[in-house]
């Protein structure tokens, strides 16, 4: 187990700056997700931590020791690749045992270790198969086994679920989380899937165009996004963000969206600069109080139904428990729970009510 620190890390490919001054601290045993869209630099960052890419500037420390100059193996990290990268000519047993073979461990030692790992990952019956004879999920477990047998200080996962179908993805997600709980090894997980990030991580680092946009617990990232970018990236369906303005109706401060003024809490102090207002579906209440709107779209997803309503100049999506019997074009009343209102500086796109 190890702590990991990135200190003002920079990576350039020629003129292109892939990682632009990222600092991040990962505690011992922590599970951290690097989250961002493809091309944001999160995989590059992971490769730099692994030692597969060198560092242009800044420092990477493991357990306080600078590892910039160390190769992947000397860093004592193990990595699970996006496409698994199983050695195609080796059996499952040989794939998992390869790192021990390189360390010239005895055959008995290797096979007993491999067997332990295989038991843990339910791979015992597949030990003599070649990777091409395995299903996607099995290949994935072999890739994890190859990392586990190393007993590394840090696990690195590079989008390990992107090749699995939806059901298997959720199952494997649970397995990885359990594995982390059991082994307690510091883990860095790269994904573009916000749901994976939220469900797995102790902390999430949102990366945007080579910069760290926000670093915090899943709860913080979800409820208190530091910027419009994070707010949009986390949560499905997306947070609705309105380009409105403050106004006063009947002596009460509100936020004007099209024809409608959304009432604000009595103690609210409006900022002096223009702001956009965001709200997540669970803070939008449909019923008999509030302003009138009509139903545009009804999307049931099982435990919830997402209902999109519209009014002159605006629309918002609400989350309704269970099955909704609302019909399209039906009119109803909408209320925003003031606790869920979030404001962003229109200019900087950063959160402005912190």
Partner 1 sequence: MISNRRFLHRFFIRLGLATFTLLALGPVLWGVVTSLFPLTSLTSRPPDLNPVNITIENYILVLDTSRGLFSGLINSFIIAFFTSAIGLVVGSMAAYSLARLNMPGRNKILMMILATQMFPGIVIIIPLFLVMSRLNLVDTHFGLIMVYLSFILPIVIWILKGFFEGVPMELERAAAVDGATPLQTFRFIVLPISLPPLFATGVFAFIESWNEFFFAIILTRIDVKTAPIAIAEFSGQYTTLYGQMLASAVLASIPVVVLAIIFRKFILEGFVEGAIKA
Put the strands of the sheet holding 186-191 in their side by side order: 77-80, 154-158, 186-191, 31-35, 203-208, 211-216
Report how far apart, in Å, the C-alpha atoms of 249 and of each of 21, 74, 258, 293 are.
46, 66, 14, 19
CB of 91 to partner 1, least distance (A): 11
Cβ-based nearer residue to partner 1, 154 or 206: 154
Backbone angles phi, psi at 171, to 5 degrees: -65, -50
Q: Which two tokens stand for residue 200?
A: 């797995």
Give the nearer residue to partner 1 in terms of CB position, either 176 or 293. Answer: 176
Strands 57-62 and 4-13 turn out to be: antiparallel
In angstroms, the CA 129 to CA 211 distance is 43
Q: Nearer Cβ to partner 1, position 50 or 203?
A: 50
Residues near 50 by beta carbon (within 8 Å), at least 6 away in sequence: 72, 75, 77, 79, 156
When the beta carbons of 163 and 217 are compared against partner 1, the nearer one is 163
Contact set with partner 1 (CB under 8 A):
50-52, 71-73, 77-79, 81-89, 98-99, 102-103, 130-134, 136, 139, 146, 150, 163
Alpha helical stretches, state H, 62-162: 92-102, 107-120, 136-148
- Quote the least distance from Cβ 153 to partner 1, whole Å: 13
What gap in Å lies between CA 291 and CA 285, rounded to an integer? 11
Nearer to partner 1, 149 or 320 (CB): 149
When the beta carbons of 84 and 311 are compared against partner 1, the nearer one is: 84
Closest approach, Cβ 82 to partner 1, in A, equals: 8
Residues 48 and 75 sit within 8 Å (Cβ to Cβ): no
Shortest Å, Cβ 192 to partner 1 = 17
For β-strands 154-158 and 77-80, DSSP reports them as parallel
Least distance (Å) between residue 110 CB and partner 1: 13
Residue 43 CB, nearest approach to partner 1 (Å): 11
């Amino acid at each position: 187990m190890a702590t990991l620190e990135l200190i003002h890390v920079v990576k350039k490919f020629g003129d292109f700056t892939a990682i632009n001054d990222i600092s991040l601290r990962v505690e011992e045993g922590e599970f951290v997700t690097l989250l961002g869209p493809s091309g944001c630099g999160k995989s590059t960052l992971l490769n730099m931590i692994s030692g597969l890419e060198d560092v242009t500037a800044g420092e990477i420390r493991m357990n306080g020791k600078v590892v910039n100059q160390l190769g992947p193996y000397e860093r004592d990290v193990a990595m699970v690749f996006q496409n698994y990268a199983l050695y195609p000519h080796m059996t499952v047993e040989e794939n998992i045992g390869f790192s021990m073979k390189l360390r010239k461990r005895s055959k008995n030692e290797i096979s007993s270790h491999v067997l332990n790992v295989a038991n843990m990952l339910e791979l015992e019956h597949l030990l003599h198969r070649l990777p091409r004879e395995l299903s996607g999920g099995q290949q994935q477990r072999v890739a994890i086994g190859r990392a586990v047998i190393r007993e590394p200080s840090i696990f690195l996962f590079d989008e390990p679920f992107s090749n699995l179908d939806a059901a298997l993805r959720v199952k494997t997600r649970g397995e990885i989380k359990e594995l982390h709980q059991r082994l307690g090894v510091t883990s860095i997980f790269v994904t573009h899937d916000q749901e994976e990030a939220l469900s797995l991580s102790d902390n999430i680092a949102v990366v945007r165009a080579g910069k760290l946009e926000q670093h915090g617990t899943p709860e913080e990232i979800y409820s208190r996004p530091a910027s419009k970018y994070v707010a949009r990236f986390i949560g499905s369906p997306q947070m609705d963000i309105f380009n409105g303005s403050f106004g006063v109706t009947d002596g009460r401060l509100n936020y004007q969206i099209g024809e409608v003024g959304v009432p604000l809490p009595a103690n609210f102090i409006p900022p002096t600069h223009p702001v956009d207002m965001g709200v997540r579906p669970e803070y939008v209440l449909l019923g008999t109080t509030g302003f009138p709107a009509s139903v545009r779209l009804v999307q049931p997803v099982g435990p919830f139904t997402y209902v999109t309503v519209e009014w002159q100049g605006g629309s918002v999506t609400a989350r309704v428990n269970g099955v909704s019997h609302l019909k399209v074009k039906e009119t109803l009343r909408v209320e925003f729970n003031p606790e869920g209102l979030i404001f962003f500086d229109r200019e900087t796109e950063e959160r402005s009510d912190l």
